[in-house]
Amino acid sequence: MEWPLQPMLAKAAKAVPAQPADGPVEWSYEPKWDGFRAIVFRDGDEVVLGSRGGKNLARYFPELVAAVRRELPARIVVDGEIVVPREIEGRTRLDWDALSERIHPADSRVQMLAEKTPSMFVGFDLLALGSTDLTGEPFGTRREKLLEVMGGMAAGMAGGMAAAGTSCHVTSTTDDAATAQDWFERFEGAGLDGVVAKKLSSPYLPNKREMIKVKHARTADCALIGYRVHKSGNGIGSLLLGLYDGDQLRMIGGASAFTDKRRVEILEELQPLRTGEEPKSAEANRWTTNKDRSWVPLRIERVIEVAYDQMEGERLRHAARFLRWRPDRDPTSCTYEQLEVPVNYDVADVLAGGS
């Protein structure tokens, strides 16, 4: 088995698939980790953290490379997720921002962040062990072997990850649909974003959408703050959204993904709302250094209903999707209180062997 290898993918569904009413159990369910997908290849001292896009992420996570050498067998290929757990208000949850910051061109910063915000690897599928290719085996068989190889890494998780003293872990699974639904509702507080269902009989099929993913999807009414022009120069690129925190209006992110026709229509529709101020500049980051991040402010008069998946602190984790205008709503009624607040849950409880 050689790198690069494309991971097996999932297709979206609205609900956790049920087990067959009659016959053997068909599905295995597991929490959906929200990190960097990575297939770990180890052959002796050689370690590759292969991203979904075919890049080796090893230089950005030197502490994880060392952990793989220390904790995994000498020859192994494991599919999983790279995440950064951090203690927040007494509980350990995933920190997406801290994870994103790990991708940095300066080696000095990479080394500093490796100590400040160390990562961990959560394995959920075993593809090869020693000289044996396991991708043709049923997932149920691969899962059993994964626990044999890495199960000790997850033991003792009820006492906390620090107590375990490891960086390579195994995700929890269940064959009970009710338990999977319970995970879907509760584990978001640990920074996870849904549930994945896998057929126990399925081989590993690279780049095929053979799994099922059920993600959190919510709607919110947001005040329209402004807009960015599309990179082509024609129409709207994104609509900037805000929510009130008391009397203060905070920008929470944007809504994008319009058709070319709709981009132009919305741009024309919003021109009467322009404040006359010059376009404002947004802070550049490593992803957008060469991009125009300026935006046009608007009078706070309109409300948008958007679909979103998850919040990261006070902001949207990912771009929202425009649903409709809400002429019946006043912008000042768009507050954080309308959002569903996920319960607090510790990452350790989502790992195999956790409480």
Distance (Å, whole) CA 342 – CA 224 = 25
Helix H or strand E segment including 140 = helix 139-154
pLDDT in tens, 220-241: 999 999 999 988 888 999 999 9
Q: Hey, which bits of the chain come out as E strands?
A: 9-12, 27-31, 36-43, 46-51, 75-83, 85-88, 91-94, 120-129, 132-133, 168-170, 194-199, 209-215, 218-229, 236-245, 248-256, 296-297, 303-308, 311-312, 315-316, 320-325
For residue 289, pLDDT beyond 50 = no
Residues annotated as catalytic are: 32
Distance between CA atoms of residues 223 and 244, nearest Å: 8
pLDDT of 86 reads: 87
- Contact between residue 285 and residue 266 where contact means Cβ atoms under 8 Å apart: no
Say if residues 25 and 200 touch (Cβ distance below 8 Å).
yes
C-alpha R_g of the chain: 22
pLDDT, tens digit (0-9, with 9 covering 90-100), for 141-198: 999 999 999 875 443 333 333 334 589 999 999 999 999 999 998 887 677 889 999 9
What pLDDT digit, counting tens, does each position of 71-101 carry?
Answer: 999 999 999 999 999 887 778 888 888 898 9
What integer pLDDT is reported at residue 187 of this predicted model?
Answer: 82
The pTM of this model reads: 0.74
Nearest partner of 25 among 143, 107, 114, judged by Cα: 143
What percent of the chain lies above the pLDDT cut of 90? 59
